[in-house]
Amino acid sequence: MLDKTFRKIMFETDVLEYPQAQKILEQFSKVPQQEINRVDDFFGRAYKPYLQKRDSLQLFLGKKRGKLLKQTPDAYGIGTGPHYYFVHAYNCIFECEYCYLQGYFSSPDIVLFLNHDEICKSIVERTKADLASGHKQVWFHAGEFSDSLALASWTGELRAYWDCFKKLPNAALELRSKSANIRPVLEQEPLENVVISFSMSPKKVVGEIEHGTSPVSARIKAAAQLQAKGYPVAFHFDPVIHRPNWKTQYQELFASMGKFIQMDKVRYASLGTVRFSSDDLRQVQKNYPRSKLLGAVFEKDHEGKHQYPVAMRKEILSQLRAQAERAGIPPEVIYDCMQGF
C-alpha cells in the first residue's frame, strides 16, 4: 500500500551507511528514488499545501542534525521528572483534522531520520545528567511530530530504542500511536520502562476526524494483546472533541475497552480537550472548512490557545475522569494534559 502512497523517495548520501536505509529503499524499489545531499535542500524550501499529502507525498530519508532532544511543554506527561521528546520523523501518513502538523511544517512530506544511534547517545547522556542532578526518573517521548508505530514495520528503528532503554532503568520511553500496527513491538521483548500508548476517541470521532488511522476497535485489541504479553500500556483521551452525545460515546468507548483491557493495569491515562494555536485553527478552517471540529465556539485562553469555554472544558474533563475511574483506571494515574486553566 505504501509504495502507492509515496510518490518519490529522496535520500541523503550520508544515510546509506545505515542498513535500514538500504532496506527501506529496497522495499520501495518501485517508487522513483533520488540521492541528495541534504534533506533541508528540499524539505520546507518551498511551501507545499498540506492536503497534497493525499496524492503527492514524498518520503525523505536523512540524518537529524542539531538538537536531538527537546524538553516537552509543562504538564505533558505523568509524574514530576523531566520529560523530553526526540524527533526521529517529521509528519505522518494519517490525517487527523485537528493535527497541529498541518500548520507546523511548510510541507506535509514525511522525513525519517535514521541516525537513531546518535539520538540514543543523547538519551543516555541526558539521563545521566538528570539523574546526577537529583531526578529519580527521566521520560522520553517519541511521536511528537509523527505517529510512533504507523511506519515502524518499514522503518525498523524500535530495536535500537529497546537496546538503549534496556540499559536505562531510570529512564522511560513512551511510543504514542493511533495505529494498531504492533507487529514491530511484538518483535521486541516487553520492557518495564517502555510504554506503548494509544490515543483514543469514540468510534464516530475516529470516522469523522481521524482519517486513515486504525479503527478504535483495532487499537483496543492491539493494546489488549500487548498488555496480555506484558508490555506496559497507556492511553490518551486527548483531544476530546465536543460532539452531540459525547458523554454516551465515551461511555461506549470505556465499555468496549473494559471488555478487552485490564483497566487497573493501565500505566497512565491523560485527558485533554482539543486546543489550537491561532495558526493551527486557521489551517483547520482552510483545509477542512466543514469539519465537525468547527461545530464549536473557541475562546482564547491566557496562553493565546483557542479552547472550548472554561465551563465546557471543566465539565468534559470531570465527566471523563469519572467515567475513566468507573471503568477501572486507577485515579492516581489519570492526569489532565496541558489544559492551562
Classified as helix, coil or strand, 177 is: strand
**Among residues 12, 95, 280, 336, which is the contact residue for ligand SF4, using CB under 6 A?**
95
The one segment of 29-37, 113-121, 167-175, 321-329 that binds other proteins by CB under 8 A: 29-37
Residues contacting ligand SF4: total by CB under 6 A: 10
- In the sheet that holds 33-36, the strands lie side by side as 33-36, 6-12, 57-62, 110-113, 89-90
Q: How far is the CB of 198 from other proteins (least distance, A)?
A: 27
Q: Does 101 bind ligand SF4 (CB under 6 A)?
A: yes
Assess contact for 183 and 153: CB atoms under 8 A. yes
CA–CA separation, 300 and 234 (whole Å)? 30
CA–CA separation, 42 and 204 (whole Å)? 38
- Phi/psi zone of residue 79: left (φ > 0), alpha (ψ -120 to 50 degrees), beta? left
**Among residues 92, 111, 114, 216, which is the contact residue for ligand SF4, using CB under 6 A?**
92
Angle between the N-to-C axes of helices 246-260 and 216-228, in degrees from 0 to 180, rounded to the nearest 10? 30
Q: Pattern of binders to other proteins over 90-129, x per CB under 8 A? A: ----------------x-----------------------
Q: Does 94 bind ligand SF4 (CB under 6 A)?
A: yes
Grid coordinates standing for 205? 470521532
Site for ligand SF4 in 18-77 (CB under 6 A): none
The one segment of 47-55, 134-142, 184-192, 317-325 that binds other proteins by CB under 8 A: 47-55
DSSP secondary structure of 28-68: TTTS-EEEES-GGGTTTTS---GGGGGT-EEEEEE---S--
Q: Does 147 bind ligand SF4 (CB under 6 A)?
A: yes
Q: Does 2 bind other proteins (CB under 8 A)?
A: no
Interacting residues with other proteins (CB under 8 A):
4, 7-8, 10, 32, 34, 36, 41-42, 45-49, 52, 54-56, 58, 106, 242-245, 290-292, 294-297, 312
